[in-house]
Copies of this chain bind each other. A is one copy, B any other.
Amino acid sequence: MKQKKLAVVGCALAIATGVSAAWAAPKKEPIQPIAPVKEINLAVAELGKKLFFDPRLSKSGFISCNSCHNLSMGGTDNIKTSIGHKWNQGPINAPTVLNSSLNLAQFWDGRAKDLQEQAGGPIANPGEMAFTHELAVDVLQSIPGYVVEFQQVFGTDKIDINDVTKAIATFEETLVTPNSRFDQWLLGDDSALSSTELAGYQLFKQSGCVACHNGPAVGGTSYQKMGVVAPYKTTSKAEGRFAVTGKDSDRFKFKVPTLRNIELTYPYFHDGEAATLTEAVDVMGRLQLGKTFTDDEKAKIVAFLKSLTGEQPSFMLPILPPSSDATLPPAPF
């Protein structure tokens, strides 16, 4: 055992030496690397993972958090606007759950202050999971496997919606995507980006994109009006931050989305109307910056954006505890 430990320490030293020899110094840029997860209660996160994948939190027994925030697909559904209970067409594009802990608030309009508050929303939204918090808790309380796990994790016999959303939020906090090629470059590996990607990043900075898309998540830190220089034309009824504050100045202000893993989270914008990254870059340039990018410039920026794809969360598919005879059956039809 002691020998094994020493071997691991030796290995770590070798890696550290390798890094300092081959890499340049970390760079000072308006975008910072994604930090790995720390100080997570693993038991809570494991419970939260089960709940995230459990369609019994919906009235139909068919829709789970993972249905619209699919962790096989960049934490989104890759659909313009999401499908909810009875195939209801949602009003807005599902934002990625990846790195969502880095957002200043949750939902496009920031109406939930954090991930825990967000997690309760879709469960009770009639157009999404169409359940109630009371019924969701009743279902969980009827499942012996969950009763034991909540007891182990939270020390209580009585399952509470706050513990449910806390567990989901804790799992979501683990969904960071470090070690993208762009982060490797930021951390000092000059060979991590191609010259095209680097030129794209320079354009991204010089054109003013970083004014809003900055920080570790390359976004998520402010609300901005969609259509600064020219109005954004859409059939979407979403009014953004105005729905929360009621202030006219907040009309069409949306939370700036993260650009992390943007290659995976198509289609783009709150209405999902930009099908491709090239189209999204074009629209952003014209409407937000008053700048018409050439095809060559767009290609370079898109190349840079694709270097923001990080390591996807990697975990075993959770096996859910079975319902009991006392569990309320799903009511899909």
For A320, what are the chain B residues with a Cβ–Cβ distance below 8 Å? 72-73
If A61-B77, A79-B330 are given as contacts, then 19 extra A-B residue pairs at C-beta distance below 8 Å, sorted by A number, are A55-B70, A55-B77, A62-B67, A62-B79, A72-B319, A78-B323, A80-B329, A87-B332, A264-B322, A266-B322, A266-B323, A275-B325, A277-B325, A312-B319, A314-B319, A315-B316, A316-B316, A316-B317, A317-B317
A94-149 residues with Cβ-Cβ distance < 8 A to B are none
Chain A residues 47 to 79 lying within 8 A of chain B, measured CB to CB, are 53-56, 60-62, 67, 70-74, 77-79
Partner of A78, one of B264, B318, B330: B330
**Interface size, A (range):** 35 or more
Hey, which bits of chain A sit against chain B, CB under 8 A? 53-56, 60-62, 67, 70-74, 77-80, 83, 86-87, 89, 263-264, 266-267, 275-278, 312, 314-320, 322-323, 325, 329-330, 332-333
Q: Which of B62, B77, B276 contacts A325 (CB 8 A)?
A: B276
- Cα distance, A266 to B329, chains bound together (Å): 10
CA distance A60 to B77 in the complex (A): 10
Give the distance in Å from the alpha carbon of A277 to the alpha carbon of B317 in the complex. Answer: 26
CB closest residue in chain B, given A320: B72
A330 and B68 alpha carbons, distance in the complex (Å): 14
Q: Which B residues are CB-close (under 8 A) to A330?
A: 78-79
